[in-house]
């Protein structure tokens, strides 16, 4: 059983194909017994029934172990739930990048080239930080912030290095967290547009999307962030004074 007999009303997104692959893997170890009715079993509680407390205890225990190194990047109130989940999946390496889809047997080895057509295999670190195309966006972001630096190609090192640029205060570092997350999300959306819509933006357009998206996130989070957009585009570090 590989899921070939399943019919879908529309073409699945890449992340949905990944979930189907996970489902097939789980079903492959099950043995169907004649005469027994199917039923749901919740393994996190002795009663085998779902309780909010058991789910919360499990999730918080997992968070302590898994998210210890990147908890400060998660669940920002200025960022939508969808984006927060994206960041969480990014750090767990659970995004539907092509190398992950190959691991799940969704793609074969001939289909894992980077969506930006740079010729390399598309894995997490390559797509967001090492790609010749998307990697240049970080240089544009640094120039926009008036910072001259060379950023690391590893997720954890890159996140800590970039966000340490906002070293002036805790709130200022938070502003850099938001810019970092905004840049990642813009890259991910553009990558998906390339694959599914055969459309992509130029790097200068991606830069403008990062500026605009970050502007609205900061404006929603900080009451003192009362700058107009043209001023923000030209003077981002000056605007950070409002949140320091």
Query: What is the model's pLDDT at position 29?
Result: 79
- Classify residue 174: in a domain, yes or no: yes
Summarize the confidence of residues 219-228 as an average pLDDT: 86
Task: Note the pLDDT of residue 30.
Answer: 78
Within a domain: residue 207? yes
DSSP character at residue 152: -
Q: What is the pLDDT of residues 128-187, one digit of tens each?
A: 999 999 999 999 999 999 888 888 899 989 988 888 886 656 667 788 889 999 999 999
Determine the Cα–Cα distance for residues 127 and 130; give it in Å rounded to an integer.
Answer: 6
pLDDT at residue 1 greater than cutoff 80? no
Q: Name the CA dihedral angle for 223, 224, 228, 234, rounded to a multiple of 10 degrees.
A: -130
Q: What is the pLDDT of residue 33?
A: 78
* Secondary structure letter of residue 168 according to DSSP: T
Q: Which is more confidently placed, 48 or 29?
A: 48
Q: Which residues contact 213 (CB under 8 A, 6 or more apart)?
A: 182, 185, 186
Indicate the pLDDT class of residue 63, thresholds 50, 70 and 90. Answer: very low
Distance CA 2, CA 111 (A): 19
End-to-end CA distance of the chain: 57
Residue 51 within a domain: no
- Domain of 78, in residue numbers: 14-39+70-243
Helix, strand, coil proportions of the chain in percent (round to 5)? Answer: 60, 0, 40
Q: Is 2 part of a structural domain of the chain? A: no
Residue 64 confidence (pLDDT):
44
The alpha carbon dihedral of 104, 110, 116, 121 has a sign of positive
Q: Pick the more confident residue, 195 or 73.
A: 195
Q: How confident is the model at residue 3 (pLDDT cuts 50, 70, 90)?
A: low
Separation between Cα atoms, residue 77 and residue 68, nearest integer Å: 19
- Report the alpha-carbon distance of residue 100 to residue 143 in Å, rounded: 32
Does 115 map to a domain? yes
Q: Alpha carbon 156 to chain centroid distance?
A: 13
Q: Tell whether 7 is covered by a domain.
A: no
Residue 74 to residue 85: CA distance in whole angstroms: 8
Given a cut of 70, whether residue 70 has pLDDT beyond it is no
**Nearest alpha carbon to residue 145 among 203, 80, 210:** 210
- Residue 60 counted as domain residue: no
Mean pLDDT across the stretch 96-110? Answer: 91
Closest CA to 103 of 25, 12, 210: 25
Instruction: Map residue 70 onto helix, strand or coil.
Output: coil
Q: For position 240, what pLDDT does the model report?
A: 80
Chain-wide mean pLDDT for the chain? 85
What is residue 168's predicted lDDT score, i.e. its pLDDT?
Answer: 59
pLDDT for the residue 193:
94
E strand or H helix at 50, and its extent?
none
pLDDT category of residue 212 using cuts at 50, 70 and 90: very high
In contact, 172 and 244? CB cutoff 8 Å: yes
Do the domain assignments include residue 116? yes
Q: How far apart are CA 66 and CA 60, in angstroms?
A: 10
pLDDT of residue 169: 66
Total tally of structural domains belonging to the chain:
1
């Amino acid at each position: 059983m590989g899921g070939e007999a399943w019919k879908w009303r529309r073409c699945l997104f890449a992340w949905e194909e990944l979930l189907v692959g996970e489902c097939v893997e789980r079903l492959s170890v099950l043995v169907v017994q004649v005469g027994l009715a199917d039923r749901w079993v919740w393994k996190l509680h002795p009663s085998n029934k779902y309780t909010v407390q058991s789910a919360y205890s499990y999730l918080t225990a997992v968070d302590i172990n898994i998210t210890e190194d990147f908890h400060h990047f998660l669940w920002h109130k200025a960022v939508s739930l969808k984006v927060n989940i994206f960041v969480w999946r990014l750090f767990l390496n659970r995004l539907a990048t092509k190398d992950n889809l190959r691991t799940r047997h969704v793609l074969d080895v001939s289909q894992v080239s980077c969506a930006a057509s740079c010729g390399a295999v598309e894995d997490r670190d390559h797509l967001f930080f090492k790609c010749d195309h998307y990697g240049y966006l970080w240089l544009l972001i640094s120039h926009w912030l008036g910072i001259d630096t060379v950023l690391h190609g590893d997720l954890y090192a890159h996140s800590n290095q970039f966000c340490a640029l906002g070293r002036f205060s805790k709130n200022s570092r938070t502003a850099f967290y938001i810019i970092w997350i905004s840049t990642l999300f813009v890259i991910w959306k553009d990558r998906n547009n390339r694959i599914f819509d055969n459309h992509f933006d130029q790097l200068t357009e991606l830069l403008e999307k990062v500026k605009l998206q970050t502007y609205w996130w900061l404006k929603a989070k900080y009451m003192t962030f009362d700058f107009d957009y043209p001023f923000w585009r030209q003077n981002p570090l000056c605007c950070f004074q409002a949140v320091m």
